[in-house]
């Protein structure tokens, strides 16, 4: 099987256009038409129409959720005829769809490795599906479920494409964070702190910190004092502005095998990677500052389990 190296950036462009990533924006209607012409290739998501009259909401009136569902369906219904719009853009001639589009959608449907990414950053929520087989990768991404970006490229460009997924929106202002660039905590402490915050019991954080004295380590593995731990727990439970979750699966056979999950949290000053690990038989969580370009190296060990 082809070895995938995401630990280094791609080489300088060779000058060949077919070696560069190609991206095309498609509406949901256009994407469905391309998938149909690609032999009925399944897409990596399902669009389920809401029921006409939910049991309770149908009697009590529309809720915010049902209103948003209806707005989405209205937007989809207003899309232009996909065959006409593809033809106007030179992506379809007669009944023939651009070969690149067909190949990309075909790869989405028949990959060896699947990576699903779910990103929330402020008010923006994006979903991306990356599918790899052999020496090629195809990706599909959307922020509204109406317009999608379809892209395909050689494996060498995968690291830079992954970095695009984790870029923080320009309109989301960043500030300082009380969380160090590197901190290592007991898993049960993080779990209890999140539960306390969810229950509006921030007063419990000092108690939790005292119960885990010297068990939280900062940079250089230095044990942190209770006041430092309280500040870190407070920041972890109050600064969150978003999250990134990536799930890697081996889909080379009929049985899909989930290989691993990668989780990041967006704090006041940017991304932190959450890295579960064991130490002396205890489960711990490392919280490490990362940048968008670090997503590929962070995923590399998980992907290597499939590609080795």
Gap between the Cα atoms of 284 and 67, Å rounded: 42
Gap between the Cα atoms of 40 and 63, Å rounded: 35
What sign does the dihedral 154-158-160-164 (CA atoms) show? positive
SS3 content of the chain, % helix, strand, coil (to 5): 35, 30, 35
Question: CB atoms < 10 A from the CB of 188, how many?
Answer: 16
Closest CA to 251 of 110, 128, 139: 110
Gap between the Cα atoms of 298 and 308, Å rounded: 17
List residues bridging with 247 in a β-sheet. 116, 261
The predicted pLDDT at position 15 comes to 42
Gap between the Cα atoms of 76 and 7, Å rounded: 40
Per-residue pLDDT tens digits for 88-98: 999 999 989 99
- Record the tokens describing residue 143, joined without a space: 């922020």
Place 61 in a pLDDT band, splitting at 50, 70 and 90.
very low
Per-residue pLDDT tens digits for 115-173: 999 999 999 999 999 999 999 999 999 998 889 999 999 999 999 999 999 999 999 99
The predicted pLDDT at position 224 comes to 93
Per-residue pLDDT tens digits for 226-251: 999 999 999 999 999 999 999 999 88
Question: CB atoms < 10 A from the CB of 260, how many?
Answer: 14
Gap between the Cα atoms of 142 and 61, Å rounded: 30
Place 220 in a pLDDT band, splitting at 50, 70 and 90.
confident
Gap between the Cα atoms of 24 and 149, Å rounded: 6
Provide the residue ranges of all domains of the chain, joining segments of one domain with +: 22-165, 182-307
Per-residue pLDDT tens digits for 13-59: 334 345 688 999 999 999 999 999 999 999 998 765 555 555 544 44
- Record the tokens describing residue 106, joined without a space: 């075909």
Q: Indicate if the pLDDT at residue 198 is higher than 80.
A: yes
The predicted pLDDT at position 280 comes to 87
The predicted pLDDT at position 121 comes to 94
Per-residue pLDDT tens digits for 248-277: 998 888 777 777 889 999 999 999 999 999
Gap between the Cα atoms of 173 and 2, Å rounded: 41
Gap between the Cα atoms of 50 and 58, Å rounded: 12
What sign does the dihedral 84-24-41-32 (CA atoms) show? negative
- Record the tokens describing residue 134, joined without a space: 């052999």
Which residue do the tokens 């939910």 mark? 54
The predicted pLDDT at position 57 comes to 46
The predicted pLDDT at position 17 comes to 45
Contact (Cβ atoms closer than 8 angstroms) between residue 121 and residue 266: yes
Mean pLDDT over 187-206 rounds to 93
The predicted pLDDT at position 221 comes to 87
Per-residue pLDDT tens digits for 65-82: 555 666 656 666 667 789
Q: Indicate if the pLDDT at residue 219 is higher than 50.
A: yes
The predicted pLDDT at position 125 comes to 93
């Amino acid at each position: 099987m082809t070895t995938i190296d995401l630990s280094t950036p791609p080489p300088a462009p060779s000058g060949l256009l077919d070696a560069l990533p190609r991206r095309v924006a498609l509406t949901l209607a256009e994407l469905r038409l391309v998938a149909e012409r690609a032999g009925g290739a399944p897409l990596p998501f399902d669009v389920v129409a809401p029921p006409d009259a939910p049991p309770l909401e149908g009697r009590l009136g529309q809720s915010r959720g049902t209103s948003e569902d209806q707005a989405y369906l209205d937007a989809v219904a207003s899309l232009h005829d996909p065959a006409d719009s593809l033809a106007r853009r030179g992506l379809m001639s007669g009944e023939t769809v651009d070969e690149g589009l067909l190949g990309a959608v075909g790869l989405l449907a028949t990959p060896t490795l699947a990576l699903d990414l779910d990103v929330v950053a402020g008010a923006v929520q994006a979903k991306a599906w990356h599918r790899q087989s052999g020496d090629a990768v195809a990706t599909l991404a959307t922020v509204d479920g109406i317009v999608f970006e379809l892209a395909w490229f050689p494996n060498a460009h995968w690291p830079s494409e992954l970095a695009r997924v984790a870029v923080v929106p320009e309109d989301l202002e960043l500030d300082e964070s009380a969380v160090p660039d590197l901190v290592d905590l007991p898993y049960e402490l993080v779990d209890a702190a999140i539960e306390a915050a969810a229950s509006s019991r921030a007063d419990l954080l000092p108690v939790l910190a005292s119960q885990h004295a010297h068990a939280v380590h900062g940079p250089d593995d230095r044990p942190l004092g209770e006041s430092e731990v309280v500040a870190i727990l407070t920041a972890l439970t109050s600064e969150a502005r978003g999250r990134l979750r990536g799930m890697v699966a081996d889909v080379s056979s009929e049985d899909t095998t989930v290989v691993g999950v990668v989780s990041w949290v967006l704090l006041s000053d940017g991304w932190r990677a959450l890295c579960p690990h064991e130490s002396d038989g205890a489960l711990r969580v490392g919280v490490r500052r990362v940048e968008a370009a670090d997503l590929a190296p962070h995923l590399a060990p998980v992907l290597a389990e499939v590609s080795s």
